[in-house]
Structure 1
Amino acid sequence: MKLMFASDIHGSLPAAEKVIELYQSSGAEGLILLGDLLNHGPRNPLPDGYFPAQVAEILNPYAKEIIAVRGNCDSEVDQMLLDFPMMSDFSWVMLESGQRLFLTHGHIYNQANLPPLAKGDVLIHGHTHIPVAQSCGEYYWFNPGSVTFPREGFPPGYGLYESDCLKVLSLDGDDVGTVCLGV
Protein backbone atom coordinates (compact mmCIF):
# COMPACT_ATOMS: atom_id res chain seq x y z
CA MET A 1 0.00 0.00 0.00
CA LYS A 2 1.23 3.47 -0.86
CA LEU A 3 -0.39 6.61 0.59
CA MET A 4 0.27 10.31 0.12
CA PHE A 5 -0.28 12.93 2.84
CA ALA A 6 -0.77 16.69 2.49
CA SER A 7 -1.77 19.29 5.03
CA ASP A 8 -2.52 22.97 5.37
CA ILE A 9 -3.28 23.92 1.75
CA HIS A 10 -5.16 26.97 3.08
CA GLY A 11 -6.95 27.76 -0.20
CA SER A 12 -3.79 28.12 -2.32
CA LEU A 13 -4.55 27.02 -5.86
CA PRO A 14 -0.87 26.62 -6.87
CA ALA A 15 -0.27 24.44 -3.79
CA ALA A 16 -3.36 22.31 -4.51
CA GLU A 17 -2.30 21.88 -8.14
CA LYS A 18 1.15 20.75 -6.98
CA VAL A 19 -0.38 18.29 -4.50
CA ILE A 20 -2.50 16.71 -7.24
CA GLU A 21 0.45 16.64 -9.66
CA LEU A 22 2.56 14.86 -7.04
CA TYR A 23 -0.29 12.51 -6.15
CA GLN A 24 -0.79 11.52 -9.79
CA SER A 25 2.92 10.84 -10.30
CA SER A 26 3.45 9.10 -6.93
CA GLY A 27 1.55 5.91 -7.67
CA ALA A 28 -0.20 6.27 -4.30
CA GLU A 29 -3.51 4.50 -3.81
CA GLY A 30 -4.95 7.18 -1.57
CA LEU A 31 -4.58 10.86 -0.72
CA ILE A 32 -4.87 11.78 2.94
CA LEU A 33 -5.61 15.45 3.60
CA LEU A 34 -4.89 16.54 7.16
CA GLY A 35 -7.08 19.64 7.35
CA ASP A 36 -7.06 23.38 6.68
CA LEU A 37 -7.95 22.81 3.04
CA LEU A 38 -9.80 25.89 1.80
CA ASN A 39 -9.64 28.73 4.31
CA HIS A 40 -6.45 30.73 4.87
CA GLY A 41 -7.22 31.32 8.55
CA PRO A 42 -7.27 34.70 10.27
CA ARG A 43 -3.70 34.40 11.62
CA ASN A 44 -2.19 33.66 8.20
CA PRO A 45 -1.65 36.05 5.32
CA LEU A 46 -3.54 35.41 2.09
CA PRO A 47 -1.52 32.74 0.28
CA ASP A 48 -0.38 33.08 -3.31
CA GLY A 49 -3.23 32.14 -5.61
CA TYR A 50 -5.91 32.20 -2.91
CA PHE A 51 -8.89 30.67 -4.67
CA PRO A 52 -10.69 28.30 -2.27
CA ALA A 53 -13.50 27.40 -4.68
CA GLN A 54 -10.98 26.43 -7.36
CA VAL A 55 -9.03 24.37 -4.82
CA ALA A 56 -12.23 22.42 -4.18
CA GLU A 57 -12.66 21.94 -7.94
CA ILE A 58 -9.09 20.56 -8.19
CA LEU A 59 -9.63 18.12 -5.29
CA ASN A 60 -13.19 16.94 -6.04
CA PRO A 61 -12.33 14.63 -8.97
CA TYR A 62 -10.29 12.56 -6.47
CA ALA A 63 -13.11 12.32 -3.91
CA LYS A 64 -13.17 8.50 -3.96
CA GLU A 65 -9.42 8.38 -3.23
CA ILE A 66 -9.35 11.01 -0.46
CA ILE A 67 -9.54 10.58 3.30
CA ALA A 68 -9.75 14.01 4.94
CA VAL A 69 -10.03 15.36 8.46
CA ARG A 70 -11.16 18.76 9.70
CA GLY A 71 -8.62 21.42 10.53
CA ASN A 72 -9.11 24.37 12.84
CA CYS A 73 -9.70 26.63 9.79
CA ASP A 74 -12.22 24.26 8.13
CA SER A 75 -15.97 24.82 8.44
CA GLU A 76 -19.33 23.52 7.30
CA VAL A 77 -19.31 26.16 4.57
CA ASP A 78 -16.08 24.64 3.23
CA GLN A 79 -17.66 21.18 3.33
CA MET A 80 -20.43 22.42 1.02
CA LEU A 81 -17.82 22.88 -1.75
CA LEU A 82 -16.25 19.45 -1.36
CA ASP A 83 -17.45 16.10 -2.70
CA PHE A 84 -15.71 14.13 0.08
CA PRO A 85 -16.27 14.27 3.85
CA MET A 86 -13.85 16.41 5.83
CA MET A 87 -15.66 17.39 9.04
CA SER A 88 -14.40 14.56 11.26
CA ASP A 89 -11.78 15.47 13.86
CA PHE A 90 -9.95 12.20 13.22
CA SER A 91 -9.91 9.00 11.21
CA TRP A 92 -8.09 5.67 11.43
CA VAL A 93 -6.35 3.68 8.70
CA MET A 94 -5.38 0.07 9.34
CA LEU A 95 -2.17 -1.09 7.65
CA GLU A 96 -1.62 -4.63 6.40
CA SER A 97 0.83 -5.10 9.29
CA GLY A 98 -1.96 -4.46 11.80
CA GLN A 99 -0.54 -1.09 12.81
CA ARG A 100 -2.93 1.83 12.81
CA LEU A 101 -2.55 5.36 11.51
CA PHE A 102 -4.40 7.93 13.62
CA LEU A 103 -5.15 10.82 11.25
CA THR A 104 -6.02 14.22 12.66
CA HIS A 105 -5.22 17.88 12.08
CA GLY A 106 -3.30 18.40 15.31
CA HIS A 107 -5.22 21.18 17.02
CA ILE A 108 -7.12 18.71 19.23
CA TYR A 109 -5.01 15.54 19.27
CA ASN A 110 -1.22 15.95 19.35
CA GLN A 111 1.80 15.10 21.53
CA ALA A 112 0.35 17.11 24.45
CA ASN A 113 -3.07 15.44 24.09
CA LEU A 114 -2.55 11.93 22.74
CA PRO A 115 -5.41 9.87 21.34
CA PRO A 116 -5.67 6.24 22.50
CA LEU A 117 -2.67 4.73 20.73
CA ALA A 118 -1.58 1.10 20.90
CA LYS A 119 2.07 0.08 20.72
CA GLY A 120 3.29 0.67 17.15
CA ASP A 121 0.48 3.06 16.13
CA VAL A 122 1.28 6.26 14.26
CA LEU A 123 -0.01 9.71 15.21
CA ILE A 124 -0.24 11.67 11.94
CA HIS A 125 -1.18 15.33 11.91
CA GLY A 126 -0.50 18.71 10.33
CA HIS A 127 -1.40 22.03 12.00
CA THR A 128 2.10 23.05 13.14
CA HIS A 129 3.38 23.38 9.55
CA ILE A 130 6.61 21.74 10.78
CA PRO A 131 7.62 18.35 9.33
CA VAL A 132 8.33 15.46 11.71
CA ALA A 133 9.09 11.77 11.15
CA GLN A 134 10.18 10.02 14.34
CA SER A 135 9.73 7.19 16.77
CA CYS A 136 8.40 8.22 20.19
CA GLY A 137 8.92 5.10 22.26
CA GLU A 138 5.84 2.96 21.79
CA TYR A 139 4.30 5.02 18.98
CA TYR A 140 5.40 7.04 15.95
CA TRP A 141 4.80 10.69 15.13
CA PHE A 142 4.51 11.99 11.58
CA ASN A 143 3.72 15.45 10.21
CA PRO A 144 4.19 16.23 6.50
CA GLY A 145 4.52 19.98 7.16
CA SER A 146 2.57 22.47 5.07
CA VAL A 147 2.38 22.79 1.31
CA THR A 148 1.48 26.50 1.60
CA PHE A 149 2.87 28.02 4.80
CA PRO A 150 5.94 26.03 5.95
CA ARG A 151 7.53 27.20 9.20
CA GLU A 152 10.95 27.22 10.88
CA GLY A 153 12.82 27.40 7.56
CA PHE A 154 11.49 24.10 6.22
CA PRO A 155 10.44 23.88 2.57
CA PRO A 156 6.82 23.26 1.57
CA GLY A 157 6.31 19.53 1.99
CA TYR A 158 4.15 16.44 1.79
CA GLY A 159 4.37 12.85 2.94
CA LEU A 160 4.45 9.34 1.54
CA TYR A 161 3.90 5.95 3.18
CA GLU A 162 5.44 3.00 1.37
CA SER A 163 7.13 -0.25 2.40
CA ASP A 164 6.50 0.41 6.11
CA CYS A 165 8.27 3.79 5.97
CA LEU A 166 6.86 7.30 6.29
CA LYS A 167 8.78 10.01 4.44
CA VAL A 168 8.47 13.76 4.51
CA LEU A 169 9.48 15.19 1.14
CA SER A 170 9.85 18.74 -0.08
CA LEU A 171 7.70 19.68 -3.06
CA ASP A 172 10.96 19.45 -5.05
CA GLY A 173 11.44 15.84 -3.94
CA ASP A 174 14.18 16.29 -1.31
CA ASP A 175 13.98 13.94 1.70
CA VAL A 176 13.21 16.03 4.80
CA GLY A 177 12.76 13.11 7.21
CA THR A 178 11.97 9.40 7.31
CA VAL A 179 10.81 6.96 9.95
CA CYS A 180 10.40 3.26 9.30
CA LEU A 181 7.77 1.42 11.34
CA GLY A 182 8.90 -1.49 13.44
CA VAL A 183 12.51 -0.30 13.39
Structure 2
Amino acid sequence: MKMMFASDIHGSLPATERVLAQFTRSGARWLVLLGDILNHGPRNTLPESYNPAGVASALNRYASSIIAVRGNCDSEVDQMLLDFPITAPWQQIVTGDRRLFLTHGHLYHPDNLPPLTSNDVLVFGHTHLPLAERRAQALLFNPGSISIPKGGYPASYGTLDAGILSIYALDDNAVIARLEITP
Protein backbone atom coordinates (compact mmCIF):
# COMPACT_ATOMS: atom_id res chain seq x y z
CA MET A 1 0.00 0.00 0.00
CA LYS A 2 1.54 3.30 -1.11
CA MET A 3 1.30 6.32 1.19
CA MET A 4 2.28 9.93 0.75
CA PHE A 5 3.32 12.21 3.64
CA ALA A 6 3.14 16.00 3.84
CA SER A 7 3.82 18.25 6.79
CA ASP A 8 3.76 21.87 7.79
CA ILE A 9 1.52 23.29 5.06
CA HIS A 10 0.94 26.40 7.21
CA GLY A 11 -1.88 27.72 5.01
CA SER A 12 0.05 27.95 1.72
CA LEU A 13 -2.40 27.34 -1.11
CA PRO A 14 0.20 26.95 -3.92
CA ALA A 15 2.16 24.39 -1.86
CA THR A 16 -1.09 22.52 -1.13
CA GLU A 17 -2.03 22.48 -4.81
CA ARG A 18 1.43 21.17 -5.78
CA VAL A 19 1.36 18.39 -3.19
CA LEU A 20 -2.18 17.39 -4.17
CA ALA A 21 -1.10 17.20 -7.82
CA GLN A 22 1.80 14.94 -6.76
CA PHE A 23 -0.60 12.84 -4.69
CA THR A 24 -2.94 12.39 -7.66
CA ARG A 25 -0.07 11.38 -9.95
CA SER A 26 1.55 9.10 -7.37
CA GLY A 27 -1.18 6.49 -7.15
CA ALA A 28 -0.87 6.54 -3.35
CA ARG A 29 -3.88 5.32 -1.39
CA TRP A 30 -3.38 7.60 1.62
CA LEU A 31 -2.24 11.18 2.08
CA VAL A 32 -0.89 11.50 5.61
CA LEU A 33 -0.82 15.07 6.92
CA LEU A 34 1.53 15.55 9.85
CA GLY A 35 0.05 18.73 11.30
CA ASP A 36 0.30 22.50 11.05
CA ILE A 37 -2.17 22.52 8.20
CA LEU A 38 -3.93 25.90 8.08
CA ASN A 39 -2.12 28.41 10.30
CA HIS A 40 1.38 29.81 9.95
CA GLY A 41 2.05 30.10 13.69
CA PRO A 42 3.63 33.01 15.54
CA ARG A 43 7.25 31.98 14.91
CA ASN A 44 6.94 31.58 11.13
CA THR A 45 6.72 34.18 8.42
CA LEU A 46 3.63 34.06 6.25
CA PRO A 47 4.11 31.41 3.58
CA GLU A 48 3.59 32.04 -0.13
CA SER A 49 -0.05 32.93 -0.87
CA TYR A 50 -1.30 32.36 2.67
CA ASN A 51 -4.91 31.23 2.28
CA PRO A 52 -6.12 28.89 5.06
CA ALA A 53 -9.71 28.75 3.75
CA GLY A 54 -8.44 27.90 0.25
CA VAL A 55 -6.19 25.17 1.68
CA ALA A 56 -9.14 23.70 3.60
CA SER A 57 -11.28 23.70 0.46
CA ALA A 58 -8.54 22.01 -1.61
CA LEU A 59 -7.86 19.34 1.02
CA ASN A 60 -11.55 18.65 1.62
CA ARG A 61 -11.82 17.31 -1.94
CA TYR A 62 -9.47 14.49 -0.78
CA ALA A 63 -11.01 13.98 2.68
CA SER A 64 -11.66 10.25 2.21
CA SER A 65 -7.96 9.68 1.47
CA ILE A 66 -6.49 11.78 4.30
CA ILE A 67 -5.13 10.61 7.64
CA ALA A 68 -4.06 13.57 9.78
CA VAL A 69 -2.62 14.47 13.15
CA ARG A 70 -2.73 17.73 15.05
CA GLY A 71 0.22 20.09 14.95
CA ASN A 72 1.09 22.73 17.49
CA CYS A 73 -0.44 25.42 15.21
CA ASP A 74 -3.71 23.51 14.64
CA SER A 75 -6.85 24.24 16.65
CA GLU A 76 -10.51 23.36 17.05
CA VAL A 77 -11.36 26.38 14.89
CA ASP A 78 -9.30 24.84 12.07
CA GLN A 79 -11.26 21.61 12.45
CA MET A 80 -14.45 23.54 11.69
CA LEU A 81 -13.18 24.16 8.12
CA LEU A 82 -12.01 20.61 7.44
CA ASP A 83 -14.03 17.53 6.47
CA PHE A 84 -11.50 15.10 7.97
CA PRO A 85 -10.33 14.83 11.59
CA ILE A 86 -7.16 16.68 12.64
CA THR A 87 -7.38 16.85 16.43
CA ALA A 88 -5.66 13.57 17.35
CA PRO A 89 -2.14 14.20 18.68
CA TRP A 90 -1.01 10.92 17.10
CA GLN A 91 -2.22 8.04 14.94
CA GLN A 92 -0.85 4.59 14.21
CA ILE A 93 -0.83 2.56 11.01
CA VAL A 94 0.12 -1.10 11.18
CA THR A 95 1.45 -2.74 8.04
CA GLY A 96 2.51 -6.33 8.51
CA ASP A 97 4.81 -6.46 11.52
CA ARG A 98 5.69 -2.76 11.33
CA ARG A 99 3.99 0.14 13.06
CA LEU A 100 4.07 3.69 11.73
CA PHE A 101 3.61 6.08 14.65
CA LEU A 102 2.34 9.35 13.14
CA THR A 103 2.74 12.57 15.10
CA HIS A 104 3.52 16.21 14.44
CA GLY A 105 6.75 16.19 16.41
CA HIS A 106 6.15 18.74 19.14
CA LEU A 107 5.07 16.08 21.67
CA TYR A 108 6.84 12.96 20.42
CA HIS A 109 10.11 13.33 18.52
CA PRO A 110 13.55 11.68 18.31
CA ASP A 111 14.49 12.98 21.77
CA ASN A 112 11.15 11.94 23.31
CA LEU A 113 10.07 8.72 21.64
CA PRO A 114 6.79 6.96 22.34
CA PRO A 115 7.13 3.26 23.19
CA LEU A 116 8.44 1.81 19.90
CA THR A 117 10.40 -1.21 18.76
CA SER A 118 13.42 -1.08 16.48
CA ASN A 119 11.11 -2.24 13.66
CA ASP A 120 8.71 0.72 14.09
CA VAL A 121 8.84 4.07 12.31
CA LEU A 122 8.35 7.43 14.00
CA VAL A 123 6.83 9.61 11.27
CA PHE A 124 6.83 13.27 12.27
CA GLY A 125 7.08 16.85 11.02
CA HIS A 126 7.46 20.07 13.03
CA THR A 127 11.16 20.72 12.37
CA HIS A 128 10.68 21.48 8.64
CA LEU A 129 13.84 19.40 8.06
CA PRO A 130 13.75 16.19 6.00
CA LEU A 131 15.09 13.09 7.77
CA ALA A 132 15.20 9.37 6.94
CA GLU A 133 17.38 7.56 9.46
CA ARG A 134 17.72 4.19 11.14
CA ARG A 135 18.42 4.29 14.87
CA ALA A 136 18.63 1.50 17.41
CA GLN A 137 15.32 2.44 19.04
CA ALA A 138 13.28 3.06 15.85
CA LEU A 139 13.36 4.33 12.30
CA LEU A 140 12.90 8.09 11.99
CA PHE A 141 11.13 9.74 9.07
CA ASN A 142 10.34 13.43 8.57
CA PRO A 143 9.23 14.54 5.09
CA GLY A 144 10.23 18.16 5.73
CA SER A 145 7.86 21.04 4.97
CA ILE A 146 5.96 21.73 1.77
CA SER A 147 5.67 25.47 2.47
CA ILE A 148 8.37 26.75 4.84
CA PRO A 149 11.41 24.49 4.41
CA LYS A 150 14.41 25.06 6.65
CA GLY A 151 18.08 24.16 6.71
CA GLY A 152 18.62 25.04 3.06
CA TYR A 153 16.38 22.19 1.89
CA PRO A 154 13.71 22.64 -0.77
CA ALA A 155 10.02 22.21 -0.04
CA SER A 156 9.52 18.45 0.26
CA TYR A 157 7.15 15.55 0.82
CA GLY A 158 7.58 11.84 1.46
CA THR A 159 6.31 8.45 0.34
CA LEU A 160 6.24 4.88 1.55
CA ASP A 161 6.20 2.50 -1.39
CA ALA A 162 7.30 -1.14 -1.57
CA GLY A 163 9.11 -0.93 1.78
CA ILE A 164 11.07 2.22 0.93
CA LEU A 165 10.61 5.58 2.65
CA SER A 166 11.59 8.40 0.29
CA ILE A 167 11.71 12.17 0.55
CA TYR A 168 11.31 14.20 -2.64
CA ALA A 169 11.68 17.86 -3.53
CA LEU A 170 8.18 19.17 -4.16
CA ASP A 171 8.97 21.12 -7.33
CA ASP A 172 11.22 18.74 -9.28
CA ASN A 173 10.84 15.35 -7.53
CA ALA A 174 14.59 15.11 -6.89
CA VAL A 175 15.32 12.49 -4.22
CA ILE A 176 16.47 14.11 -0.97
CA ALA A 177 16.68 10.96 1.15
CA ARG A 178 15.71 7.32 1.00
CA LEU A 179 15.52 4.56 3.62
CA GLU A 180 14.68 0.92 3.01
CA ILE A 181 12.55 -0.39 5.85
CA THR A 182 12.04 -3.97 4.71
CA PRO A 183 14.39 -6.50 6.31
For normalisation by structure 2, the TM-score amounts to 0.98
After superposition, residues 31-180 of structure 1 pair within 5 angstroms as 31-95=31-95, 97-171=96-170, 172-180=172-180
* Residue equivalent to 1:22: 22
Residue 10 of structure 1 corresponds to 10
Per-residue deviation, 1:112: 1.1
TM-score, scaled to structure 1: 0.98
| Aligned-pair CA distance for 1:120 | 0.2
Structure 2 gap ranges (5+): none
Shift of 1:105: 0.2
Q: Secondary structure at the match of 2:54?
A: helix
The Cα shift of 1:139 comes to 1.4
By how many angstroms is 1:98 displaced?
1.6
How far residue 182 of structure 1 moved from its aligned partner, in angstroms, is 3.5
User: Whole-Å Cα distance in 2 between the matches of residues 157 and 17 of structure 1?
Assistant: 13
Whole-Å Cα distance in 2 between the matches of residues 20 and 142 of structure 1?
20
Aligned partners of 2:3 and 2:160 also within 8 Å: yes
Root-mean-square deviation (CA), in Å? Answer: 0.8
Number of equivalences? 182
Distance 1:42 1:69 in 2: 20
Distance 1:2 1:84 in 2: 20
1:162 Cα deviation (Å)? 0.4
Query: Any idea what the Cα deviations from partners look like across 1:54-80, whole Å, max 9, x if unmatched?
Result: 100000011111000000000000000
Percent identity of equivalent pairs: 54
Tell me the SS of whatever aligns to 2:150: coil
CA deviations on 1:15-56 (whole Å, 9 max, x unpaired) are 110111000000000000000000010111111110000100
The residue identity in structure 1 corresponding to 2:13 is: L
Describe the superposition over 1:82-124 as per-residue Cα deviations: whole angstroms up to 9, x where unpaired: 00000000000011x3200000000000011100102300000
Unaligned runs of 5+ in 1: none
Q: Which amino acid aligns with 2:117?
A: A
8 Å contact from structure 1 (residues 169, 175) kept in 2: yes
Between the aligned partners of 2:51 and 2:41, the Cα distance in structure 1 is 13
